[in-house]
Chains A and B, each alone.
Chain A
Amino acid sequence: MSQKILLDKINVPGIKTYEVYRQNGGYASVEKALKTLTPDEVVEEVKTSGLRGRGGAGFPAGMKWSFIDKKSGKPRHLVCNADESEPGTFKDRYLMEFIPHLLIEGMITSSYALGANLSYIYIRGEYMWVYKILERAINEAKAAGFLGKNILGSGYDLELYVHCGAGAYICGEETALIESLEGKRGNPRIKPPFPAISGLWSNPTVVNNVETIAAVPWIVNNSGAEYAKIGIGRSTGTKLISASGHVKNPGVYEIELGLSVYEFMNSDEYLGGMSSDRPLKAFVPGGSSVPVLPAHLIYKTAAGEDRLMSYESLSDGGFATGSMLGSGGFIVYNDTSCIVRNTWNFSRFYHHESCGQCSPCREGTGWMEKVLHRIENGHGREEDIDLLLSIQSKIEGNTICPLGDAAAWPVAAAIRHFRDEFEYHIRFPEKIKNRDHFITEPFEKVKYLVSKVIV
């Protein structure tokens, strides 16, 4: 049984409301920080905790905070990134919907640490009902004296608001998010300057994921050193994993980092194994942009060690035999799934979501989508596989923001691990006419056909 620090009270009846949240020890971190700690001491605790950004990049949060420009005297802002849109990821929504005050508490304590007096939660427009939940929670917190002027008599002022997006994955990239918050199109900015120096309205700004901010109250209450004891190595603390696809119990789980992938997949406490008891074919551990892994690399690394749910273990082997923890969007595929179809689906997503600013991404994502679409629909050509590899290699690293990489990696990984499946689509177009082709006849059963054909 993993220790829970974010979702430990999620089942307390009424925890959505201020009263119940407060009765269960809520807002203690605000009291502790404002009354007994200096802002820099809070930053130090977060540094000591080893907490890493939970949005996907895994950058140490305390380090990010320490970059904020406090010398210029400009107003500072904390912006919470709740623009959760990475396919496979739905953890932040769960937290905000069912324990909204945890995020509000984290925002207040973290804003205090950064010396921010005006902070925002940027939530994706589709989560409109969650936007309303947060708005009400903020009003409750304000009525209770945890927001506004001179909070708890400490002399610290903070205004906190929710801001909603309107359907653009790209706004999850921090500089695009800032642009969007300024009322503009979500085109990422060239860095440097980094938001910590020049962010929202050119003011020093820190952008953190919901889950990162929600971990701060526990760290302040129990100390960074205590937090660092949870987890494994440099993967400290707990992580929310949102699991979907062909598993028995999809949903959101809080795990201690370092749990084995095998246990997470198969124990009844978590995913409970595969749905319909079909064999496992592949998984994507951290949202659609991280490399897909085939069955033989899921439970064990290439070196034969147990694969663990941690930043290091999931990326063990690099892109050749590893993947990434990313946002914790855990998608599981059984033997009836078609990797080509799935890769095309992801490519369509990235093509749709490309902001259009950089040519390699704007054009390249469209080309990849088209080529994958024709392979999936039985019109593929023998040279298409190399063409795809060539396109993806020209997007990767050649764009302002990481969306280009995010679009390129899944294609490269799918070909790396499932090349024979692409070849099968190209050589046996009559067998893949129906979109359910592998449901009626899993690839495992027809795989032999690929090796028999001499090209």
Chain B
Amino acid sequence: MERTYHKQEINMTEALITRINELISHYPEDKRKSALLPVLHEVQDAHENWLSIELMDKVAEILLIKPIEVYEVVSFYTMYNQKPSGKYMFEFCQTSPCCLNGVEDLMDYTCEKLGVKVGEPTPDGLFEVRGVECLGACGYAPIMQLGDFYKEHLTAAKIDQLIVDCKDNKIVLHDK
């Protein structure tokens, strides 16, 4: 298998460190490790939506745990990315109730429109289409997750508009 090494610039800003410390304070002093999942979300959001080995090592250092304890968690949970992903990741829910409402056709449409296959970012790194399992919004199907938010009752027209809005930098990905 081909392996590409991606370099990631690590930037632990003051705001990020403050937030991490706040998260750590939610658990007893000797249970710092418990903050791992929320801390990884914060760190990933601040680093273009992925976690390099170096970044994971940094998290281990902050939480006073071994790097392997971070790697094994990152590889278990689907929301952590171990390689660069598209900036705007269209994560379509592809579980039954969304399928009943045509999500498969919509994913095909989006891929065709962006000229990509599921799971591969556009060459400019702006977009990526992914299929994920039940997002818990079955009554508002078909839906996708974009950053911290859901886009519901999707149609081809809404996808077109979303793509335009992303390009125009009008989409807020994270609620910080």
Which A residues have a C-beta under 8 Å from some C-beta of B? 84-90, 93, 118, 124-129, 132, 161, 163-169, 180-186, 201, 242-246, 250-252, 288, 329, 331, 333, 337, 341-342, 345-346, 348-349, 352-353, 355, 435
Contacts and interface: CB of A to CB of B under 8 A. Distances in A.
Nearest to B72: A185
Given A88-B96, A168-B76, 15 more contacts: A125-B41, A128-B148, A164-B41, A166-B77, A166-B79, A180-B37, A183-B35, A183-B69, A242-B138, A246-B100, A252-B139, A288-B134, A342-B96, A349-B96, A355-B76
Interface stretch (B8-16, B26-34, B117-125, B158-166): B26-34
A84 B136 contact: yes
B96 A346 contact: yes
B111 interface: no
A331 B96 contact: yes
Given A85-B134, A89-B138, A169-B133, A164 B148 contact: no
Contacts of B26: 161, 163
Residue picked from B40, B63, B80, B139, most chain A C-beta under 10 Å:
B139
A349 B133 contact: yes
B62 interface: no
A186 B100 CA distance: 30
B78 interface: yes
B95 interface: yes
Given A125-B79, A126-B136, A184-B73, A201 B28 contact: yes
Contacts of B95: 87, 288, 345-346, 349
B46 interface: no
Nearest to B31: A201
17 contacts: A86-B134, A87-B138, A90-B138, A128-B174, A129-B148, A132-B175, A163-B37, A164-B37, A164-B38, A166-B80, A183-B33, A186-B76, A250-B139, A329-B138, A337-B100, A352-B133, A355-B76
B79 A126 contact: yes
Interface in B64-120: 65, 69, 72-73, 76-80, 94-97, 99-100, 104
Contacts of A242: 138-139
Please classify how large the interface on chain B is, using the bins under 10, 10 to 19, 20 to 34, 35 or more: 35 or more
Those 7 A-B pairs whose CB atoms lie nearest each other, nearest first: A183-B36, A244-B138, A166-B77, A167-B78, A250-B139, A128-B148, A167-B79
A89 B134 CA distance: 9
A251 B73 CA distance: 34
A255 B94 CA distance: 28
A90 B139 contact: yes
A132 B137 CA distance: 18
A125 B135 contact: no
Given A89-B138, A242-B139, A166 B33 contact: no
Central interface residue in A90, A243, A337, A342, by most chain B CB within 10 Å? A90
Contacts of B99: 341-342, 345
B144 to A, nearest CB: 11
Contacts of A246: 100
B138 A166 contact: no
Nearest to B75: A185
Interface in B51-69: 63, 65, 69
B134 A166 contact: no
B141 interface: yes
Nearest to A243: B139
A126 B38 contact: no
A180 to B, nearest CB: 7
Contacts of A129: 148-150, 175
A250 B137 CA distance: 10
B145 A126 contact: yes
A97 B63 CA distance: 31
Nearest to A84: B136
Q: Among the interface residues B28, B35, B135, B145, which one has the most CB atoms of the partner chain A within 10 A?
A: B135
Given A183-B37, A186-B76, A118 B136 contact: no
A243 B138 CA distance: 8
Nearest to A284: B96
Contacts of B41: 125, 128, 164, 166
Interface in B147-176: 147-150, 174-175
Nearest to A253: B139
Contacts of B140: 90, 250
A241 to B, nearest CB: 10
